[in-house]
Structure 1
Amino acid sequence: MKTQQRGGTVIGLIIGMIVGLAAALAVAVYVTKVPVPFLSKGGKTADQDAAEAQRNKNWDPNAPLQGKNPAPPPPAAVTPSLPGSTAPTAPTPPAVAGGVTPPPAPVDPAKPPAKPETKADGRSSADPLGDLVKSRSAAAEKAEKAEKADAAFNYFVQAGAFRSQGDADAQRAKLAMLGWEARVSEREQNGITIFRVRVGPFTKRDDAEQLKQKLDGAGVESTLVRAAR
């Protein structure tokens, strides 16, 4: 009789332990699956914690004093470059109101190298200074030759040759009215006496040519005559 009571007690204890474990397991499952109101309201997720940490990192205590347009963040520090390490850059033109940038400043074009002096025959001269000296020497030689020729001759400007002395005198009077003093000279040619009206003599050919140009401009036909001294 006592043995049966002991066996029933042990079985009852085992059944009670099983029922207790089942109840504890059910409570644990219920707690993990069903959200608890006070834990949901007070708890924060990992994303929320990260966002709040970022806001705290960039928080500016003077933000309420700056109005709606906060001041821009300070520019990043630029490390100065050593001289000669980088090529110089052209300055950026300032921006014009309205968002339009003016065109860049014009750059002066490089001047082409000076070309050597070109002679009349189309060939370039390698010694322009020597050519200048030669040209001056040639001009001096030409002037010297002209002076030698002038030393051997006298020059006249003949304003006409007439068969009658009256016509020659009339031509001389016309020249006198224009301001030039002329002379009438006689010469027999082919048995005929010719009366020549001349202005001169001139020791230089250039002086005689200048007078001839003036007479031609005044409408008086003339010619240049050379006579040996």
Structure 2
Amino acid sequence: MAGRSGFGTWFYGFLVGGVVGVGACAAAALFITNAPIPFINKVNQASEKINPIANGAIPDPNAALNGTGDSPANAPKSKVVTVEPQYPNSADTANTKEEVKQPAEETYRYVVQAGAFKGEAEAENLRAELGLLGFESRIIKRVENGTTWYRVRLGPYGTNQEANDVKTRLMQNSFQATVGRVK
């Protein structure tokens, strides 16, 4: 029995020595390199990254295109038409029995615009963020009144409902988006 207790004492001594040795090496490495301690201050507070305007609201990145907010006087006006969803069983259409048909030659596709920027790098950043969330987008370069705009768009979608579903998913992920229709 004496041999077994000697083995246990030796094993626990070896284990404690290993843990103390690893701790001493880690402390020496942190001291030598002056590295910050891991897992401390890894999460930045929201107030450090967001610079809200005076009333505490986050500025709209599309304010210049919508014609709202503090946009420059020479800023181009957006040609994107906002389309509200139409539901077939809503109260407006429940009382009427005749269907409203659009002419066959006017077929529209719908796009979702997530942002418009004067700099291509900003548009690429937004496109990358959307890609990380699983959205496929593209950047459309457009020159209006001598100003180059880089628009980040998703789509085209065949129906208004599809485009509004994508807009809803973007808004759930804290992105401003508008739905527009194109021919």
Whose helix proportion is higher, 1 or 2? 1
| Higher Rg | 1
Q: Normalised by the size of structure 2, how large is the TM-score?
A: 0.45
Where relative contact order (Cα < 8 A, 6+ residues apart) is larger, the structure is 2
Q: Normalised by the size of structure 1, how large is the TM-score?
A: 0.36
